[in-house]
Amino acid sequence: MLFILPAILYLLIFLIIPIGTAIVISLTKYSILSKPQFIGLKNYIRVFSMPTFWNSLQVTGIYVVSRLSGILILSFFMALAINQNLIGSKFFQAVYFMPYVFPLAVTSIIWKLFYQPFGLIEQFTNMLGLEPIFWLTSIDTALLGITITTVWSAAGYYSLIILAGLQTIPRDVLEAAEIDGAGNVRRFFHIILPFLKPTIFFILVVGTINSIRGFPPFLIMTGGGPGNATRVIGLMIYEYGFVHLKMGIGSAMSVVLLAIILTITLIQKKMMSKGGEV
Amino acid sequence: MSIIKNKNTAKAIKTGILLIIASLLAAIFIVPMVYILTSSFKSVENIFTVPIKWLPEKLHLENFSEPFINKNFGRYFLNSTFIAGTVTGATLFFSSLAGYSLSKFDYKFRDSLFILILITMMVPIETTIVPLAIVIRKLGMMNNYWGLILPVILSPFAIFWMRQFMITLPDAYSEAGRIDGLGEFQIFWKLILPLCKPAIGALAIFTFMGNWNSLIWPMIVATSDSLRTLPVGLVAFEGEFFTPFNQLFAMSVLAILPTFILFMILRQKLITGMAMVGIKG
């Protein structure tokens, strides 16, 4: 019993109390300078009537969808290639995975430099004969620029999960399909994909949550700009809490985000257990 | 015969194409890393040139020393090492204790406690930073090491991880210890912990990496320069008006180095462990 005590204290002080505090503070007007003042649901009404809040949800949504599509396509290919046991597949696996161990702050700083005029990216687009693109300073490409960075940083990691899934497909099933004359495309869609359903599902859920959580690239590379083009929800909460010092509104947004994340997780649980029955 | 032969050639072509695409993809990952490394040895003028200069004309080793002299990077390194090290040690100890308790003892609220841990595992720190900062300020831990360490000294995930491993251990070990007259803590320390080496090893890597790489929480707590960790120091360095980019690259290389070395040594362990974990700390 005594052994669990530190854990209980930790959970209480650093998780349960903050979550409770978030809910309480979200019902007050509070900046560090003044005492909290109870104002009921006003913060929530404010938050939901803010165009910037809806914009941030929209930006977050676009980011999550495009990042996950990029990751799925790339990591699927990586996993299939590694699974073929090509020459040097161990080497490929290590190379693809490597950026994942870099601090995300460092990856973001470095890619910001890559996107600079005359930086690494422009050197390559020049070679392809393209006009210079103002990646992070243009409304049209800033989100794409960050997405490319975070796909680069995580695709290798997700390919491991897919690889683990691929290796659960029984060899004889694939061989039987080959003998029956099923082509590559048909094998992919009719055997590999159905077998990987749980894996893909897991990636979608974990990837969604991780993408919503990971706002350091936005903070470092664009600071939410240009305009509000890359102001994702995590960054908004951070700004309200620690830049504008409006703890009440920041907490209300945190509670909304928490609700969104828990809903996603619950839907996952439901669908996972359903998938288990089939 | 010819069908088999055709099939083999077709297979060889397929493998060839796959190999080429895999290599091209690998280039997308390797080229930036090489660029980072070579840029860290360049002079400022040589970083953004057209066409690109892949190799520095002269090795500017002072890129690596000047930030230590003109800036506080020595301190940042010490802070990062101290915090990541302490947190890792504490996490391993407390999560093993909790895992042992949850898996091998029976008491009233044990199962509800475990469910609570499962739920809190889903709560990302990003949604609690605002209230957490308020709690930490109330406790007087803003802008000191306690505030940097205590809120991350354990994690629901670490407890879950150790519990899941320990529940697979047979009860016979603890019982043998009790017959030999060992105290409960001695049983845990001398009999159980040595059996948990694989789980502890993997957890140690994740925890160290997660904390070495962590940015947001240290940035909120460390308002004075002397408390900054490496990622926080780097972000501040990048945000200055006239950042010498060659030095920024050099410091980035140093920040990557520890996790990179860890990765090279423990690659296989890390890869299998990460696949099991699913969520990055």
- Judgement on whether residues B111 and B12 belong to the same structural domain of the protein: no
On whether both B250 and B177 belong to a single domain, the answer is yes
Q: B151, A14: Cβ pair inside 8 Å?
A: yes
- CATH for B114: 1.10.3720.10
The mean per-residue pLDDT over the stretch B254-277 comes to 75
Going B21 to B22 to B28 to B32, the CA torsion angle's sign is negative
Q: Is the pLDDT of residue A221 over 80?
A: yes
Segment B193-235, tens digit of pLDDT: 888 887 888 888 888 988 998 888 999 998 888 899 999 999 9
Angstrom CA distances, A262 to A166, A204, A208, A259, stand at 29, 15, 12, 5
> Nearest residue on chain A to B45, judged by CA atoms?
A118
Distance from CA of B261 to the nearest CA of A (A): 10
**Chain B residues with CB-CB distance to A18 below 8 A:** 128, 131-132, 134-135
For the cut 80, the answer to whether the pLDDT of residue A44 exceeds it is yes
Q: What is the mean predicted confidence (pLDDT) over B259-275? A: 73
pLDDT per residue as tens digits for the range B26-74: 988 998 888 888 888 888 777 777 677 777 777 888 888 888 888 888 8
B266 backbone dihedrals φ, ψ, rounded to 5°: -105, 30
Measured on CA atoms in the order A77, A79, A81, A84, is the torsion positive or negative? negative
Considering B45, B62, B79, which residue would you say is the last residue of a domain?
Answer: B62
Could A6 and B97 be called an inter-chain contact, meaning their C-beta atoms sit closer than 8 Å? yes
User: Between the CA atoms of B140, B142, B143 and B148, what dihedral angle is there, to the nearest 10 degrees?
Assistant: 110
Cα angle, residue A53 at apex, residues A51 and A55 outer, rounded to 5°: 70
- Kindly report the nearest CA distance between residue B47 and chain A, in angstroms: 8
Instruction: Say yes or no: B125 and B254 in one domain.
Output: yes
What confidence tens digit (pLDDT) does each residue in B86-131 have?
A: 999 999 999 999 999 888 888 888 888 888 888 888 777 777 888 8
Confidence of residue B279 (pLDDT cuts 50, 70, 90): very low
Tens digit of each residue's pLDDT (9 = 90 or more) over A144-203:
999 999 999 999 888 888 888 887 788 787 777 777 777 777 777 888 888 888 788 878
Q: How confident is the prediction for chain B on average, in pLDDT?
A: 84
- Domains of chain A: residue spans and CATH: 50-277 (1.10.3720.10)
Query: Does one domain contain both B110 and B206?
Result: yes
Mean pLDDT of A35-63: 89
pTM for the predicted model, two decimal places: 0.85
Chain A residues whose beta carbon lies within 8 Å of the beta carbon of residue B232: 105
- A-chain CB neighbours of B18 within 8 Å are 80-81, 84, 86
The number of distinct structural domains making up chain B is: 2
Q: Which two tokens stand for residue B163?
A: 């519990």
Give yes or no: residues B55 and B79 share one domain.
no
User: If you measure CA to CA, which chain A residue comes closest to B276?
Assistant: A161
Query: How many other β-carbons are positioned within 10 Å of the β-carbon of residue B51?
Result: 9
Query: Is B234–A213 a contact, with Cβ atoms under 8 angstroms apart?
Result: no
The closest CB to that of A18, out of B132, B238, B267, belongs to B132
Domain shared by B21 and B151, yes or no? no
CA proximity to B249, closest of B28, B27, B47: B47
User: In this prediction, does ipTM exceed 0.85?
Assistant: no
Looking at residue A69, its pLDDT comes to 94
Work out the percent of chain B whose per-residue pLDDT is above 70: 93
Nearest CA in chain B to A256: B127
Same domain, residue pair B152 and B219? yes
Residues of chain A positioned with their CB less than 8 A from the CB of B123: 15, 19, 258, 261
Domain boundary among B28, B62, B96: B62
Same domain, B16 and B104: no
3-state secondary structure of A242: helix
Q: Do B19 and A86 touch (CB under 8 A)?
A: yes
For residue A254, the chain B residues in CB contact (below 8 A) are 127-131
Check B249 against A95: CB less than 8 A apart.
no
CB A206 within 8 A of CB A198: no
Confidence band for B168, pLDDT divided at 50, 70 and 90: confident
| Residue A161 with chain B: CB contacts under 8 Å | 275, 278
A98 has pLDDT over 80: yes
CB nearest to A254's CB, from B18, B127, B245: B127
Domain range spanning residue B210?
Answer: 71-277
Query: Is A14 in contact with B150 (Cβ distance < 8 A)?
Result: yes
Q: Do A247 and B19 touch (CB under 8 A)?
A: no
> Same domain for B157 and B238?
yes
Examine the domain organization and report whether B58 and B154 are in the same domain.
no
pLDDT tens by residue, A8-26: 888 888 888 888 888 888 8
Mean pLDDT of the B164-184 span: 84
The span from the CA of A66 to the CA of A60, in Å, is 10
pLDDT of residue A276: 43
* B272 plus B141 within the same structural domain: yes
Do residue A118 and residue B48 have CB atoms under 8 angstroms apart?
yes
> Best residue in A25, A110, A208, A238 to probe B by mutation, most B CBs within 10 Å?
A110
**Kind and range of the H or E run holding A38:** strand A37-38
Instruction: Based on the fold, state whether residues B233 and B135 are members of the same structural domain.
Output: yes
